[in-house]
Amino acid sequence: MAPTEQDQRDTSAERFLRLVQAKRRGTLKVYLGLAAGVGKTYRMLQEAQDLHAHGVDVLLGYVETHGRAGTLAQLHNVPLLPRKQVFYKGHAVEEMDLDGIEQRRPQVVLVDELAHTNVPGSRNEKRWQDVEELVKNGISVITAVNVQHLESLHDQVLKITGTDVTERIPDQLLKQADEVVNVDLTVGELRARLEEGKIYDAAKVPTALANFFQAENLLQLRRLAVREVAQLLGRQIESEAGGAPAVLPQRRNDDRLLACINTNEQAAKEIIRKASRLADRFGAAAWYVLYVQTGHESADRIGLATQRHLINNLQLATQLGAQILRVKDNNIVAAIRQVAHEKHATLLVCGITGAKNLWQQLRHRSVTHDLLRAIARDETDLDVYLVTY
């Protein structure tokens, strides 16, 4: 007899319970979706019910139902922690009660809206930092987020949807998760739910269908979500296999990526994010972000805004797992070649401004142009990946 949906949910709850019991550090489970309305919160609440039925001390720390009838119907049996009211600019704002959760110390807590930005003055700026704190303190967390909130995918999502997603989470958080589950719907099913008023109020539906929820947008976001979970699962399988004979092709682990940035804020962000994705895809042994500071870019010669953008980009690189390298040299090409040699880099990632004819642009003298010519003369095994911006 084929297993029922309830049987499958019981198995999922039991597996998660084993993870919870096996660790002193809290366990982290993330439900990842392609967009709002696929059912992430509903699935989390179902799991909470199942864990509760198994005798686990589960707490609903923060749940956002968006008034959806199916989700609201799942709010029973499991204790719900009241939200904390925070006054900001004369208004009362509801936030998750982080202190209340830590005092209550449940075995498992549900925390929705992982990419949320907390009210200024909160202990942590972002909710994902609250989750990290809970896990570190031995409380297991089940949470949810959409794929467009991943930091390294920001530029791809912007190109796909035209939406500048401002609330983002570091990819490293997903990599550290014990389980990541893809909550999937076909594009047709998701758009049908939207049209039926199951996601947004009826007044918002036409605008959503014509913009973010266009079929092509959703198709590409679905592809990103499936690919992300597949890569995470692949890493988990390899990690758990340990020294056992491999049944899957071995990931390369000898690549070393070197991403070169300058003070151009947007270009640097795109290069860093692309390098992060490449390093992850190749299973690179290490990846670096290099900034070569010339005499024209000393602190007393560039504006405060430019300095701030540079610092923010270097922080972004650190957040995504890069090692930061800063070198002072007026000869940028020579400095890059030297660092590439010292770090045994196998792939160089650098930027070039977008142009209809790339080869026409490369004929114009630029740092990238000179760097490509120099590398070609070096006869090394260093490959180059160009990021257009």
Model pLDDT for residues 263-292, shown as the tens digit of each residue: 998 899 999 999 999 998 888 889 999 999
What is the pLDDT averaged over residues 192-199?
93
Model pLDDT for residues 5-49, shown as the tens digit of each residue: 666 666 777 777 666 665 578 999 999 999 999 999 999 999 999
Question: What's the confidence (pLDDT) of residue 247?
Answer: 41
Model pLDDT for residues 330-343, shown as the tens digit of each residue: 999 999 999 999 99
Stretch among 105-114, 147-156, 239-248, 269-278 having the lowest mean pLDDT? 239-248
Q: CB within 8 A of 257, min separation 6: which ones? A: 275, 278, 279, 282, 284, 286, 287, 288, 345, 346, 347, 348, 349
Banded model confidence at residue 375, pLDDT cuts 50, 70, 90? confident
Residue 383 φ then ψ, to 5°: -95, 160
Banded model confidence at residue 381, pLDDT cuts 50, 70, 90? confident
Question: What's the confidence (pLDDT) of residue 6?
Answer: 66
CA 196, distance to chain mean position in Å, is 30
What is the Cα–Cα distance from 178 to 176, expressed in whole angstroms? 7
Across the chain, mean pLDDT equals: 88
Question: What's the confidence (pLDDT) of residue 11?
Answer: 72
Sign of CA dihedral 248, 249, 255, 257: negative
Does 145 score more than 60 pLDDT?
yes
Partnered with residue 351 across adjacent β-strands are: 387
Question: What's the confidence (pLDDT) of residue 21?
Answer: 60
Question: What's the confidence (pLDDT) of residue 111?
Answer: 98
Question: What's the confidence (pLDDT) of residue 389?
Answer: 74
pLDDT more than 70, % of the chain = 88
Domains of the chain in start order, with CATH, are: 5-241 (3.40.50.300), 256-388 (3.40.50.620)
SS3 for the chain is: CCCCHHHHHHHHHHHHHHHHHHCCCCCEEEEEECCCCCCHHHHHHHHHHHHHHCCCCEEEEECCCCCCHHHHCCCCCCCECCCEEEEECCEEEEECCHHHHHHHCCCEEEECCCCCECCCCCCCCEHHHHHHHHHHCCCEEEEEEEHHHEHHHHHHHHHHHCCCCCCCECHHHHHHCCEEEEECCCHHHHHHHHHCCCCCCHHHHHHHHHCCCCHHHHHHHHHHHHHHHHHHHHHHHHHHHCCCCCCCCCCCCCCEEEEEECCCHHHHHHHHHHHHHHHHHHCCCEEEEEEEECHHHCCCCCCHHHHHHHHHHHHHHHHCCCEEEEEECCCHHHHHHHHHHHCCCCEEEEEECCCCCHHHHHCCCCHHHHHHHHHHHHCCCCEEEEEEC
Banded model confidence at residue 248, pLDDT cuts 50, 70, 90? very low
What is the Cα–Cα distance from 61 to 144, expressed in whole angstroms? 13
What's the first-to-final CA gap in the chain, in angstroms?
55
What is the Cα–Cα distance from 221 to 389, expressed in whole angstroms? 21
Does 243 score more than 60 pLDDT?
no
Question: What's the confidence (pLDDT) of residue 195?
Answer: 95
Structural Rg of the chain based on CA atoms: 24
Residue 322 φ then ψ, to 5°: -85, 155
Query: Global pTM?
Result: 0.78
Question: What's the confidence (pLDDT) of residue 364?
Answer: 54
